[in-house]
Amino acid sequence: MDIVIASRNAGKIREMREALETSGLRLLTFEDLGDWPEPEETGRTLEQNAILKAAALRERFSLPALADDSGLEVDFLGGRPGIHSSRYAGPEGDAEKNMTLMLEELEGVPPQKRTARFACVIALSLEGDTRLRRGVCEGRIVEARKGLGGFGYDPVFQPDGFDRTMAELTLAEKNRISHRGKPLAAMREVLRAK
């Protein structure tokens, strides 16, 4: 079965390929298909945005499409940046600027008040049907960037049960516990049943 991954983010694509690796499944990206639609994320929830993206690619290519929307929710910041995570510091979506702004806003906040979670919704758009799976990874925001792996906020997010940030974990470790890895594992079972 061919499935379109609705992302241009190399890190997300790598994680999705690793998590969904199964025989009989071919994951296609913008590099394979060209003429890529960029649906505007007008939803007010992760679920709505994931569905928008998956539906746009399903319609454009007449193939099943898989999309995610994810966000970082920081308790001290009232749940921000949430659905605005990728553009927290501005419309250009600069991960370094996003982390800098967050660390500035949390400066002086003690570790016990830096609790946060990554949340992710995966949408699979099939002909006449959309399946959703949600995942959450609890943790906290550290005081300075650590690690070179991952992408986005990974260098400042330390998942519960670890003394390392997401950027210091291997891809296999990250996929086992992450907000994206959990719903992708559930979606792999949906796809196997097809």
Each residue's pLDDT tens digit, 75-109: 999 999 999 999 999 998 899 999 999 999 999 99
> For residue 35, is pLDDT > 80?
no
**Range of 24's domain?**
2-192
> For residue 194, is pLDDT > 80?
no
* Tokens linked to 30: 């913008």
Which residues form the catalytic set?
A: 69
CATH label of the domain that carries residue 155: 3.90.950.10
- What is the count of structural domains for the chain? 1
Each residue's pLDDT tens digit, 2-14: 999 988 888 888 8
> For residue 61, is pLDDT > 70?
yes
Each residue's pLDDT tens digit, 108-153: 999 999 999 999 999 999 988 999 999 999 999 999 999 998 889 9
